[in-house]
Structure 1
Amino acid sequence: MTSSPGSSFGLEDTLKAILPEGKFAGPLPPVHLWNPEGCGDIGMEIRADGSWWHEGGRIHRERLVKLFSRILRKDEDGVTYLVTPHEKVLVHVEDAPFLAVRVDRTGEPGPDQQLTFTTNLDYQTTAGPDAPIRIETDPETGAPAPYVLVRGRLEAKLTRPVFYELAELAVPAPDGTNRLGVWSRGVFFPLGPMA
């Protein structure tokens, strides 16, 4: 990303906003508070396999991808951006911006257990009231597409092995309907009908 003509900020200021403590382990920047006027399209894309691309070329530097991922924001209109205090650019997301590559269960099986997902970029989210699991079903094939909310409106698509692990944890729905699902932080998330 380049600065707009006439702007008085530099790369150092932008990096301080993105990495306030100078490291990835620090708090995420408050992108929900940033509303820059300028918006551009620089050919940034996140493909369904989780790879990041810029103007048709794959971004191979993992540190750069992680840096960009810290300033991702999906707005109410469904459009995803890279946002700094000074500008924002469109990111074309083919499916979901993250992939859930691991799930860990803690606590006793049932309503009190917690399911924590780790993404391909090392973010963690624990499913519950503020981080739902949802399933979309392909109308033609009937194949499920499972997602979990990571932050804001940004989701991770569950990889096939993670979804299979969830399926092994599935129990009948508490309301007696013909559905199976999983519990996390007191919420029951349906995964699909019983076979």
Structure 2
Amino acid sequence: MTETDTETPVPGGAENDATDAVADKPAGEGEDTSRLEAEGDIAADYLEELLDIADIDGDIDIDIDHGRAAVEIVSEEDGGRGLRRLVGDDGEVLDALQELTRLAVQARTGDRSRLMLDIAGHRQARRNALTELANEAIAQVQTGNQDVSLQAMNPFERKVVHDAVAAAGLVSDSEGVEPNRRVVIRARS
């Protein structure tokens, strides 16, 4: 990490609420793809340095997913249990590391990054659980024709639910103020 990497101001929040209900656009050819690949490479360099400093073993996978650079830290050792301390009890450490990684990318590129970071499959497991929760709520809305309000969620979690609701042909909104912002699923009228 260079000295300028630490001088970037922290953005106002983990994610802009306006992105909750907006579906990610797939990356286009050429410039978008190479920009996202560059973001992934910068993030990987930053995270490798972090792992070295913390003396934690892990490999870094880079991909592009739903128009975002996607980086995951994985480990074959002990089934990834050694990486769990980088996730935290409820993913709070993972969220902080994602924000720091986005800032490192922003410091190098000058552009705000929407990079997604996963560690030891935590986000993927959470995505699967949230999709199941969303499907149960969707079934309630479809059979009872009443709105269903879910518990408070962070922006990543709300985005997963919004995507599942849209795929089912229903509508959803985010209501409330962080950290108590929640998804409300509605039947189309």
- Give TM-score scaled by structure 1 length: 0.31
Bigger radius of gyration among the two? 1
Higher helix share: 2
Greater relative contact order (Cα < 8 A, sep 6+): 2
- Give TM-score scaled by structure 2 length: 0.32
